[in-house]
Chain A
Amino acid sequence: MALDTDTVRRIAKLARLHVDEDKLAPLADELNNILGWVEQLDEVDTEGVAPMTSVVEMVQRLRVDAVTDGHVQDKVLANAPAEADGFFVVPKVIE
């Protein structure tokens, strides 16, 4: 199932990656090259085999639902590209 440029455009949208129109076709070729190579997995009989969900056999732990930090507004904002009055400044979200 080779990807066409429309599919690549859709995936780029889902991935939130800007791809220029003239780059869609070469990118489709690159992705098809890799997807063609992974198709050899179809040779493996996986009938009745459970997909791996955890690589280490362990019981999932639960933690106490307790507040463990907070009051670190300065730290949270320290790396912000834009901030004002203790908030992140972002482009307008609602028209």
Chain B
Amino acid sequence: MAALTDLTIAEAGAALAKGDFTARELTDAYLAAMETARGLNAYIEETPERARVMADASDARRAAGKANGPLDGIPLAIKDLFCTEGALSTAGSHILDGFRPPYESTVTQKLWDAGAVMLGKVNMDEFAMGSANITSHYGPTLNPWKASSGPNAGKDLVPGGSSGGSAAAVAAHIAAGATGTDTGGSIRQPGAFCGIVGLKPTYGRCSRWGIIAFASSLDQAGPIARSVEDSAIMLGGMAGYDPKDSTSVDLVVPDYRKALTGDIRGLRVGVPAEYRMEGTPAEIEALWQQGVDWLREAGAEIVDISLPHTKYALPAYYIVAPAEASSNLARYDGMRYGLRVEGEDLTDTYERTRAAGFGHEVQRRVMIGTYVLSAGYYDAYYLKAQRVRTRIADDFKAAWNSCDVILTPTTPSAAFALGEKQDDPIAMYLNDIFTVPASMAGLPAISVPAGLSADGLPLGLHLIGPAFGEETLLRAAGVLESAAGFDAKP
């Protein structure tokens, strides 16, 4: 029998239901695996005692015939952006030193209500600002994959970001699945870099309540998992209306697993011309074409589409997201929680606390955000970016007249080495060039591992759907997953 940690959530759930092993045995297998993989620095805080209590409770429910469904007894890692009651929640930032929230985020509470087990809190870029998991106060997380050849052969690689700890933990089989959050690509890009599935739901599908805010009009929670089916199971546990989040949408949560019919005959798949960008490596272009062929062979109709404002999504994002971040991060003043650095007076205390507590990238974005919102520049930068955002959303609306989903690459490269792009923010920002447009339009999107680079590193394909089109998206992703048959291991 394979190791318990090799099972998908779907497989483990079925085995738990049959009584092949207990939730406690499954949790203990993951806790043991976590100990041997500490070199990855995926977890900021492991919570073994809590995990065992939750696993025992799951076993007791099952013994009493009251098991909750496919997530009951499944051990998960939680991105450190989610507030978890009594457990360290830092957003990867020094400024939230020692912060143990007195409340639980809605999404994690829903997962615990479904019976899932918390293994611990996983690493991330500070306040979710980054694409390599190198801005965390707790140090970088490493990608479990290594290049087999090429300039980066044998080097430590980044897992992507900001949900780098989530993706590394799931890829390294030290969590069965993980929560992530995606503001401009923070679930999908690390999913692609680590060879697993990352799903960003429609804005409003999952409650943001209790998730430490970065850019409120873009932030969305989603699952990181080893299969499309597992993503469907996890999304079912995370999604739903929440009166505590005024932007959460009051729509019934469907049984996403049922959407995985494997039948995409007649589905119209859009291929946007503007995603063919100069400088994209040939192997990325080739994989994209392979994805088109796979979907066509499965009976989909391929449609050439145009999303004319694609290239402006990233620069518009780098106005909107820092603007919202500068407002959201104003609350970290050293008075009520977290770090305080005493200064000469109140203002000096604020300024020294924030200078010591925020890392360089966070300070840079707070400065940009403050500037673009300041008197005299608000119209030229912020309003202009929000107008461009409307045009980006309109591009997608027009595209849905001729297609049902859109296929693109997830990232312009495979995982890069630790230290690369560190001193060039714009080079780092360009990681999200294919993922940001869907974020700006609030649309659901998923990255599916689809092949290996010439150097033996995973590459992802990216599907974008219309608002609340998660079922169609998952159905198409399932077909892509079957066709790709990606079974490489780190």
Residues in chain A within 8 A of chain B (CB atoms):
3, 7-8, 11-12, 14-19, 27, 30-31, 33-35, 37-38, 40-44, 46, 49-58, 60-61, 63, 72, 75-76, 78-82, 88, 90-93
CA distance A79 to B102 in the complex (A): 9
Chain B residue contacts of A78, Cβ below 8 A: 100, 102
**How far, in Å, is A22 (CB) from chain B's closest CB?**
14
Neighbour of B467 across the interface among A7, A56, A88, A92, CB < 8 A: A56
Contact A18/B354 with A38-B315, A40-B312, A91-B345 known, Cβ cut-off 8 Å: yes
**Which of B62-70, B384-392, B409-417 is near enough to bind chain A?**
B384-392
Chain A residue contacts of B390, Cβ below 8 A: 46, 49-52
* Given A46-B387, A51-B387, 6 more pairs with CB closer than 8 A: A16-B351, A17-B366, A31-B371, A35-B368, A38-B318, A52-B389
In the complex, number of A-B residue pairs with CB atoms less than 8 Å apart: 163
- B102 & A31 in contact (Cβ 8 Å cutoff): no
- B345 & A38 in contact (Cβ 8 Å cutoff): no
| Least CB separation from B86: chain A residue | A78
Chain A residue contacts of B279, Cβ below 8 A: none
Q: B347 at interface (Cβ–Cβ under 8 A)?
A: yes
Q: B442 at interface (Cβ–Cβ under 8 A)?
A: yes
User: Majority SS of interface residues in chain A?
Assistant: loop
CA distance A41 to B316 in the complex (A): 7
- B204 & A58 in contact (Cβ 8 Å cutoff): yes
Contact with A along B324-342 (1 / 0, CB 8 A): 0010001001111111101
CA distance A11 to B381 in the complex (A): 15
| Least CB separation from A60: chain B residue | B246
- A51 & B386 in contact (Cβ 8 Å cutoff): yes
Residues in chain B within 8 A of chain A (CB atoms):
98-103, 202-204, 217-218, 243, 246-247, 249-250, 309, 311-312, 315-316, 318-319, 326, 330, 333-340, 342-343, 345-352, 354-355, 358, 363-364, 366-368, 370-371, 374, 381, 383-391, 393, 425-426, 440-442, 467
Contact A81/B337 with A16-B347, A18-B348, A18-B352 known, Cβ cut-off 8 Å: yes
- A3 & B371 in contact (Cβ 8 Å cutoff): yes
Residue with the greatest number of chain B CB neighbours at <10 A, chosen from A18, A49, A55, A90: A55
Chain B residue contacts of A40, Cβ below 8 A: 311-312, 315
CA distance A30 to B347 in the complex (A): 25
- A15 & B334 in contact (Cβ 8 Å cutoff): no
CA distance A7 to B99 in the complex (A): 34
CA distance A50 to B335 in the complex (A): 39
Chain A residue contacts of B204, Cβ below 8 A: 56, 58
CA distance A72 to B103 in the complex (A): 11
- A12 & B333 in contact (Cβ 8 Å cutoff): no
| Least CB separation from B376: chain A residue | A1
Contact A41/B312 with A81-B334, A91-B342 known, Cβ cut-off 8 Å: yes
- B98 & A15 in contact (Cβ 8 Å cutoff): no
Chain B residue contacts of A92, Cβ below 8 A: 345-346
Chain B residue contacts of A56, Cβ below 8 A: 202-204, 247, 249, 442, 467
Neighbour of B337 across the interface among A19, A33, A80, CB < 8 A: A80
- A55 & B315 in contact (Cβ 8 Å cutoff): no
Chain B residue contacts of A76, Cβ below 8 A: 102, 336
- B355 & A18 in contact (Cβ 8 Å cutoff): yes
Residue with the greatest number of chain B CB neighbours at <10 A, chosen from A12, A34, A90: A34
Contact A81/B338 with A50-B387, A93-B346 known, Cβ cut-off 8 Å: yes
Chain A residue contacts of B393, Cβ below 8 A: 52, 55
CA distance A38 to B371 in the complex (A): 13
CA distance A49 to B218 in the complex (A): 20
CA distance A37 to B429 in the complex (A): 11
| Least CB separation from B315: chain A residue | A38
- A31 & B441 in contact (Cβ 8 Å cutoff): no
CA distance A55 to B150 in the complex (A): 42
Neighbour of A80 across the interface among B336, B354, B371, B384, CB < 8 A: B336
> Which are the 3 A-B pairs with shortest beta-carbon distances?
A55-B442, A51-B386, A79-B337
Chain A residue contacts of B371, Cβ below 8 A: 3, 7, 11, 31, 35
| Least CB separation from B379: chain A residue | A51
Neighbour of A82 across the interface among B340, B355, B381, CB < 8 A: B340
- A75 & B102 in contact (Cβ 8 Å cutoff): yes
Chain A residue contacts of B387, Cβ below 8 A: 44, 46, 49-52
CA distance A78 to B338 in the complex (A): 11
Chain B residue contacts of A61, Cβ below 8 A: 246, 250
